[in-house]
Amino acid sequence: MCLGIPGRVVVIVDAEAHLAEVDVNGVRRKISVRLLADDQLHVGDWVLVHVGFAIAKIDEREAKLTLDQVQKMGADYLTEIDAFTSSAIS
């Protein structure tokens, strides 16, 4: 199962290449934000992350509700977080 996980933008790594670093549950990862190029992303914005791409800009309330629901999924959530952690920026 693949999940979209909310992440908070912590750094715009390369605006021209559409790369940002996001924090998901304390884990940072560099992702592509190219799909949201028209959304004018800023540090502190929340995005929905799926397989290394930000697929939607969401508000903080939606991010927290989504994280709460995903955590209730149990094993599938842990598997997704493990996959995210394994590709974290060192």
In tens, the pLDDT along 28-47 reads: 999 999 999 999 899 999 99
pLDDT score for 36: 96
Q: Is residue 48's pLDDT more than 90?
A: yes
* Between 5 and 2, residue with greater pLDDT: 5
Res 82: pLDDT: 75
Q: Do 43 and 10 touch, CB atoms closer than 8 A? A: yes
| CA atoms of 51 and 67, how far apart (whole Å) | 17
Distance of alpha carbon 9 from alpha carbon 11, whole angstroms: 6
